[in-house]
Chain A
């Protein structure tokens, strides 16, 4: 089992819809969770961080964390074509020292 798992996609949503991206992790002691967006040929950029159970909202983005289910998600409301990118889930695992463990990423396509 991979430490951080994501569906590779592509996930296609129409413009204006809600995009839901999911991530599961195996280390129950994981403490910190991050969502990054990566455009093709570019390096990842941070979108959201979440540390405690529940929802965290920032503009059109909402991160949801459920530590009991070892599940973290990212919702993008009013999806725009510019949101089309690969979204990487990253986890600070309990046994991973100072490093982050990344999922393989989900490719999102927002269609006109």
Chain B
């Protein structure tokens, strides 16, 4: 399966600051990456689909100006949480898929805590 590296694994930031999370596909070129958010004891919620060389596709209810996604290369997508607030504290996970009907492989996840 695909190897996906996500960094950092955890971050604590002050309210009002911005945090950047990186997702790297290490062993294949990913034209599409997916960003999820997971609150405690809840399932994965897709936030957006990151498309290499074009704008990300955001799910309904996700603020595109708050969660900035950049997919500048075939191996790297970044998610920036701008002006973070305590309610943004969550587990953020990226994933890649090698094909339309194939499984998704996940990064290690980033635990964001906004204080």
Contacts and interface: CB of A to CB of B under 8 A. Distances in A.
Given A46-B1, A88-B44, A105-B43, A99 B49 contact: yes
B103 interface: yes
B43 A102 contact: yes
Nearest to B111: A41
Interface string B44-69: 10100100000000000000000000
12 contacts: A31-B101, A34-B103, A34-B104, A42-B109, A43-B108, A46-B103, A46-B104, A51-B101, A92-B100, A92-B101, A99-B34, A100-B104
Contacts of A43: 6, 93, 106-109
Contacts, number: 50
Contacts of B44: 44, 88, 102
A46 B2 CA distance: 11
Interface of B: 1, 6, 32, 34, 42-44, 46, 49, 91, 93, 97, 100-109, 111
A109 to B, nearest CB: 14
B42 A104 contact: yes
A88 B93 CA distance: 15
A34 B93 CA distance: 18
Contacts of B32: 98
Contacts of A99: 34, 46, 49
Contacts of B101: 31-32, 51, 92
Given A42-B109, A98-B97, A103 B103 contact: no
A27 B33 CA distance: 23
Nearest to A100: B104
Contacts of A32: 101-103
B43 A46 contact: no
Interface in A67-112: 88, 90, 92, 97-100, 102-105
Nearest to A92: B101
A49 interface: yes
